[in-house]
Amino acid sequence: MQRRLLVAVLAGCFAGSSVAESPSAEPTAADEARRAPPDVPLAEVLRPDTDPSAFWISEKLDGMRAIWGGRELRFRSGRRVPAPAWFLAGLPGQPLDGELWLGRGRFDELSGIVRRAHPADDEWRAVRYRVFELPGGDGTFTERSERLKALAESAGVPWLGAVEQYRVTDRRELLAKLDAVIHAGGEGLVLHRASARYAAGRTGDLLKLKPWQDAEATVVGHEPGRGRLAGTTGALRLRTLEGREFKLGSGLSDALRRDPPPVGTLVTYRYQELTKDGIPRFPRYWRMHEEF
Protein backbone atom coordinates (compact mmCIF):
# COMPACT_ATOMS: atom_id res chain seq x y z
CA MET A 1 0.00 0.00 0.00
CA GLN A 2 1.41 3.36 -0.97
CA ARG A 3 1.92 5.91 1.74
CA ARG A 4 2.30 9.65 1.32
CA LEU A 5 5.48 10.41 3.14
CA LEU A 6 5.89 13.87 4.50
CA VAL A 7 9.36 14.94 5.42
CA ALA A 8 9.86 17.48 8.17
CA VAL A 9 12.77 19.60 9.17
CA LEU A 10 15.10 18.17 11.77
CA ALA A 11 16.80 20.68 13.90
CA GLY A 12 20.36 19.39 13.82
CA CYS A 13 23.32 19.36 16.05
CA PHE A 14 24.59 22.19 18.18
CA ALA A 15 28.09 23.39 17.47
CA GLY A 16 30.75 24.18 20.02
CA SER A 17 31.20 23.41 23.67
CA SER A 18 29.94 25.26 26.70
CA VAL A 19 31.83 27.55 28.98
CA ALA A 20 33.84 26.08 31.81
CA GLU A 21 31.44 25.48 34.65
CA SER A 22 31.03 22.83 37.30
CA PRO A 23 28.21 20.40 36.40
CA SER A 24 26.63 21.00 39.78
CA ALA A 25 27.03 24.79 39.71
CA GLU A 26 23.84 26.84 39.67
CA PRO A 27 24.11 29.52 36.97
CA THR A 28 22.65 32.94 37.68
CA ALA A 29 19.66 34.37 35.81
CA ALA A 30 22.10 36.52 33.84
CA ASP A 31 24.12 33.44 32.89
CA GLU A 32 20.97 31.73 31.65
CA ALA A 33 19.88 34.78 29.66
CA ARG A 34 23.16 34.76 27.74
CA ARG A 35 22.64 31.19 26.53
CA ALA A 36 21.32 31.92 23.05
CA PRO A 37 20.61 28.88 20.86
CA PRO A 38 23.63 28.30 18.60
CA ASP A 39 23.45 27.84 14.84
CA VAL A 40 22.48 24.29 13.92
CA PRO A 41 22.35 22.15 10.77
CA LEU A 42 18.82 22.04 9.32
CA ALA A 43 17.44 19.31 7.10
CA GLU A 44 16.04 19.61 3.61
CA VAL A 45 13.08 17.76 2.13
CA LEU A 46 13.70 14.20 0.98
CA ARG A 47 13.36 14.20 -2.81
CA PRO A 48 12.02 11.24 -4.80
CA ASP A 49 15.42 10.82 -6.44
CA THR A 50 17.34 10.71 -3.13
CA ASP A 51 19.28 7.47 -2.80
CA PRO A 52 18.80 6.23 0.79
CA SER A 53 21.72 3.80 0.42
CA ALA A 54 24.04 6.81 0.80
CA PHE A 55 22.75 7.45 4.32
CA TRP A 56 22.95 5.93 7.76
CA ILE A 57 19.43 5.37 9.14
CA SER A 58 18.26 5.60 12.74
CA GLU A 59 14.99 5.85 14.63
CA LYS A 60 13.71 9.32 15.49
CA LEU A 61 13.46 8.98 19.25
CA ASP A 62 10.46 10.38 21.10
CA GLY A 63 12.67 12.30 23.52
CA MET A 64 14.09 15.73 24.26
CA ARG A 65 17.13 17.07 22.45
CA ALA A 66 20.07 17.74 24.74
CA ILE A 67 23.61 18.94 24.00
CA TRP A 68 26.52 18.06 26.27
CA GLY A 69 29.36 20.58 26.09
CA GLY A 70 31.80 18.59 28.21
CA ARG A 71 30.81 20.26 31.47
CA GLU A 72 27.09 21.00 31.26
CA LEU A 73 23.97 19.67 29.54
CA ARG A 74 21.59 22.01 27.75
CA PHE A 75 18.26 21.85 25.96
CA ARG A 76 18.15 22.92 22.32
CA SER A 77 16.89 26.33 23.49
CA GLY A 78 20.18 26.86 25.33
CA ARG A 79 18.70 26.45 28.81
CA ARG A 80 20.55 24.24 31.28
CA VAL A 81 19.14 20.77 31.93
CA PRO A 82 18.76 20.36 35.71
CA ALA A 83 20.21 16.85 35.73
CA PRO A 84 21.67 15.19 38.86
CA ALA A 85 25.42 15.63 39.37
CA TRP A 86 25.99 11.85 39.15
CA PHE A 87 24.27 11.74 35.74
CA LEU A 88 26.57 14.44 34.37
CA ALA A 89 29.66 12.97 36.04
CA GLY A 90 29.22 9.81 33.95
CA LEU A 91 29.47 11.69 30.65
CA PRO A 92 32.82 12.13 28.83
CA GLY A 93 34.62 15.43 28.28
CA GLN A 94 33.85 15.24 24.55
CA PRO A 95 30.84 17.36 23.38
CA LEU A 96 27.84 15.20 22.47
CA ASP A 97 24.46 15.70 20.82
CA GLY A 98 21.52 13.41 21.43
CA GLU A 99 18.16 12.79 23.06
CA LEU A 100 17.11 12.34 26.65
CA TRP A 101 14.75 9.38 26.39
CA LEU A 102 12.57 7.09 28.49
CA GLY A 103 11.12 4.95 25.71
CA ARG A 104 8.51 5.07 22.96
CA GLY A 105 5.39 7.00 23.84
CA ARG A 106 6.73 8.36 27.15
CA PHE A 107 7.55 11.93 26.16
CA ASP A 108 5.17 13.61 28.61
CA GLU A 109 6.57 11.59 31.51
CA LEU A 110 10.12 12.41 30.42
CA SER A 111 9.31 16.11 30.09
CA GLY A 112 8.10 16.24 33.67
CA ILE A 113 11.27 14.57 34.93
CA VAL A 114 13.93 16.54 33.09
CA ARG A 115 12.40 20.00 33.53
CA ARG A 116 12.02 19.72 37.31
CA ALA A 117 14.26 22.33 38.96
CA HIS A 118 15.21 19.89 41.71
CA PRO A 119 15.87 16.54 40.01
CA ALA A 120 14.67 13.34 41.64
CA ASP A 121 17.38 10.66 41.58
CA ASP A 122 14.93 7.75 41.43
CA GLU A 123 13.24 9.24 38.33
CA TRP A 124 16.49 10.09 36.57
CA ARG A 125 17.74 6.49 36.99
CA ALA A 126 15.31 5.56 34.19
CA VAL A 127 16.42 8.36 31.83
CA ARG A 128 18.77 7.48 28.97
CA TYR A 129 20.97 9.83 26.96
CA ARG A 130 21.05 8.42 23.43
CA VAL A 131 23.63 10.30 21.36
CA PHE A 132 23.95 10.56 17.58
CA GLU A 133 26.49 13.27 16.79
CA LEU A 134 29.81 14.81 17.83
CA PRO A 135 29.36 18.60 17.56
CA GLY A 136 32.23 20.08 15.56
CA GLY A 137 33.79 16.65 15.08
CA ASP A 138 36.23 15.88 12.26
CA GLY A 139 35.78 13.35 9.47
CA THR A 140 32.70 11.91 7.82
CA PHE A 141 29.53 11.00 9.66
CA THR A 142 30.57 7.34 9.40
CA GLU A 143 33.83 8.16 11.17
CA ARG A 144 32.14 10.34 13.78
CA SER A 145 29.57 7.63 14.42
CA GLU A 146 32.29 5.07 15.13
CA ARG A 147 34.02 7.44 17.56
CA LEU A 148 30.68 8.14 19.19
CA LYS A 149 30.06 4.44 19.84
CA ALA A 150 33.53 4.05 21.33
CA LEU A 151 33.00 7.04 23.62
CA ALA A 152 29.65 5.73 24.86
CA GLU A 153 31.07 2.27 25.52
CA SER A 154 34.16 3.58 27.31
CA ALA A 155 32.04 5.74 29.63
CA GLY A 156 30.72 2.56 31.21
CA VAL A 157 27.45 4.02 32.53
CA PRO A 158 24.03 2.56 31.67
CA TRP A 159 22.40 5.90 30.87
CA LEU A 160 24.74 6.77 27.99
CA GLY A 161 24.53 5.01 24.63
CA ALA A 162 24.90 5.69 20.93
CA VAL A 163 21.77 5.62 18.76
CA GLU A 164 21.79 2.52 16.55
CA GLN A 165 22.66 3.31 12.94
CA TYR A 166 22.07 0.99 9.98
CA ARG A 167 22.03 1.08 6.17
CA VAL A 168 19.35 0.22 3.59
CA THR A 169 19.80 -0.69 -0.05
CA ASP A 170 16.86 1.17 -1.61
CA ARG A 171 13.69 3.19 -1.00
CA ARG A 172 11.53 0.09 -0.64
CA GLU A 173 13.64 -1.13 2.26
CA LEU A 174 13.59 2.37 3.77
CA LEU A 175 9.79 2.47 3.71
CA ALA A 176 9.63 -1.01 5.24
CA LYS A 177 11.85 0.23 8.09
CA LEU A 178 9.57 3.24 8.54
CA ASP A 179 6.47 1.04 8.71
CA ALA A 180 8.11 -1.19 11.32
CA VAL A 181 9.05 1.77 13.52
CA ILE A 182 5.60 3.38 13.27
CA HIS A 183 3.80 0.12 14.04
CA ALA A 184 6.03 -0.34 17.08
CA GLY A 185 5.01 3.07 18.41
CA GLY A 186 7.94 5.13 17.13
CA GLU A 187 7.92 8.52 15.40
CA GLY A 188 9.89 7.99 12.22
CA LEU A 189 13.41 7.82 10.83
CA VAL A 190 16.44 10.07 10.64
CA LEU A 191 18.88 9.91 7.71
CA HIS A 192 22.52 11.03 8.02
CA ARG A 193 24.59 11.09 4.84
CA ALA A 194 27.50 8.73 5.44
CA SER A 195 30.08 10.95 3.76
CA ALA A 196 28.91 14.23 5.32
CA ARG A 197 31.26 16.53 7.23
CA TYR A 198 29.89 18.31 10.28
CA ALA A 199 28.54 21.73 9.32
CA ALA A 200 25.84 24.12 10.49
CA GLY A 201 23.23 25.57 8.14
CA ARG A 202 20.58 24.06 5.90
CA THR A 203 21.80 20.82 4.40
CA GLY A 204 20.58 17.82 2.47
CA ASP A 205 22.95 15.64 4.48
CA LEU A 206 20.41 15.36 7.31
CA LEU A 207 16.78 14.31 6.77
CA LYS A 208 13.82 13.23 8.87
CA LEU A 209 11.18 10.91 7.49
CA LYS A 210 7.72 10.57 9.04
CA PRO A 211 4.22 9.67 7.78
CA TRP A 212 2.83 13.00 9.01
CA GLN A 213 3.78 16.63 9.43
CA ASP A 214 4.08 18.46 12.72
CA ALA A 215 4.29 22.14 13.55
CA GLU A 216 4.01 24.58 16.42
CA ALA A 217 1.25 27.05 17.24
CA THR A 218 0.40 29.37 20.11
CA VAL A 219 -2.73 28.93 22.21
CA VAL A 220 -4.84 32.08 21.85
CA GLY A 221 -8.10 30.85 23.41
CA HIS A 222 -10.26 27.97 24.61
CA GLU A 223 -13.59 26.82 23.18
CA PRO A 224 -16.10 25.45 25.74
CA GLY A 225 -17.05 21.82 25.43
CA ARG A 226 -20.57 20.55 24.77
CA GLY A 227 -22.45 17.39 25.67
CA ARG A 228 -20.07 14.96 27.36
CA LEU A 229 -17.42 17.68 27.37
CA ALA A 230 -19.61 20.33 29.00
CA GLY A 231 -17.71 22.17 31.71
CA THR A 232 -14.35 21.44 30.11
CA THR A 233 -12.41 22.64 27.07
CA GLY A 234 -13.85 21.44 23.78
CA ALA A 235 -11.06 22.80 21.60
CA LEU A 236 -8.00 25.01 21.65
CA ARG A 237 -7.87 28.11 19.47
CA LEU A 238 -4.41 28.18 17.95
CA ARG A 239 -2.41 30.69 15.93
CA THR A 240 0.34 29.41 13.66
CA LEU A 241 3.74 31.05 13.32
CA GLU A 242 2.42 32.58 10.07
CA GLY A 243 -0.55 34.16 11.89
CA ARG A 244 -3.30 31.78 10.73
CA GLU A 245 -5.85 30.71 13.35
CA PHE A 246 -7.75 27.42 13.65
CA LYS A 247 -9.45 25.24 16.24
CA LEU A 248 -7.99 21.97 17.50
CA GLY A 249 -10.05 19.48 19.51
CA SER A 250 -8.66 16.09 18.51
CA GLY A 251 -5.99 14.51 20.66
CA LEU A 252 -6.86 16.34 23.87
CA SER A 253 -7.02 13.99 26.85
CA ASP A 254 -9.68 14.44 29.54
CA ALA A 255 -6.97 15.77 31.85
CA LEU A 256 -5.95 18.39 29.27
CA ARG A 257 -9.56 19.37 28.72
CA ARG A 258 -9.95 19.98 32.46
CA ASP A 259 -6.65 21.86 32.69
CA PRO A 260 -5.78 23.06 29.16
CA PRO A 261 -2.53 24.75 28.15
CA PRO A 262 -2.95 28.44 29.06
CA VAL A 263 -3.11 31.23 26.53
CA GLY A 264 0.37 32.01 25.27
CA THR A 265 1.60 28.42 25.48
CA LEU A 266 3.42 27.01 22.45
CA VAL A 267 2.16 23.52 21.57
CA THR A 268 3.02 20.99 18.87
CA TYR A 269 0.34 19.42 16.70
CA ARG A 270 0.30 16.87 13.88
CA TYR A 271 -1.57 17.12 10.59
CA GLN A 272 -1.78 15.48 7.17
CA GLU A 273 -1.49 18.46 4.83
CA LEU A 274 -2.35 22.13 4.42
CA THR A 275 -5.43 23.54 2.71
CA LYS A 276 -5.01 26.08 -0.08
CA ASP A 277 -5.44 28.74 2.63
CA GLY A 278 -2.60 27.31 4.68
CA ILE A 279 -4.80 25.75 7.39
CA PRO A 280 -3.75 22.26 8.60
CA ARG A 281 -6.08 19.41 7.65
CA PHE A 282 -7.07 16.97 10.42
CA PRO A 283 -4.91 18.60 13.11
CA ARG A 284 -4.37 16.60 16.27
CA TYR A 285 -2.80 17.78 19.52
CA TRP A 286 0.54 16.11 20.13
CA ARG A 287 2.26 17.70 23.11
CA MET A 288 3.72 20.83 24.67
CA HIS A 289 6.46 22.24 22.49
CA GLU A 290 9.71 20.44 23.33
CA GLU A 291 12.13 23.36 22.99
CA PHE A 292 12.67 24.44 26.60
Rounded to whole angstroms, the Cα distance separating 99 from 66 reads 6
**Distance set, CA 35 to CA 27, 76, 117, 129, 219 (Å):** 11, 10, 17, 21, 26
| Strands 266-271 vs 284-288: parallel, antiparallel or unpaired | antiparallel
Query: Letter for the amino acid at 83?
Result: A
Q: Are 231 and 175 in contact (CB under 8 A)?
A: no
Catalytic site positions: 60
CA angle (37 as vertex; 36, 39 as ends), nearest 5? 125
Rounded to whole angstroms, the Cα distance separating 257 from 242 reads 26
Beta bridge partners of 288: 267
**Distance set, CA 227 to CA 31, 234, 241, 246 (Å):** 50, 10, 32, 21
Query: 242 — phi, psi (to 5°)?
Result: -90, 0
Query: Letter for the amino acid at 10?
Result: L
Query: What does the longest C-alpha to C-alpha distance in the chain come to?
Result: 61
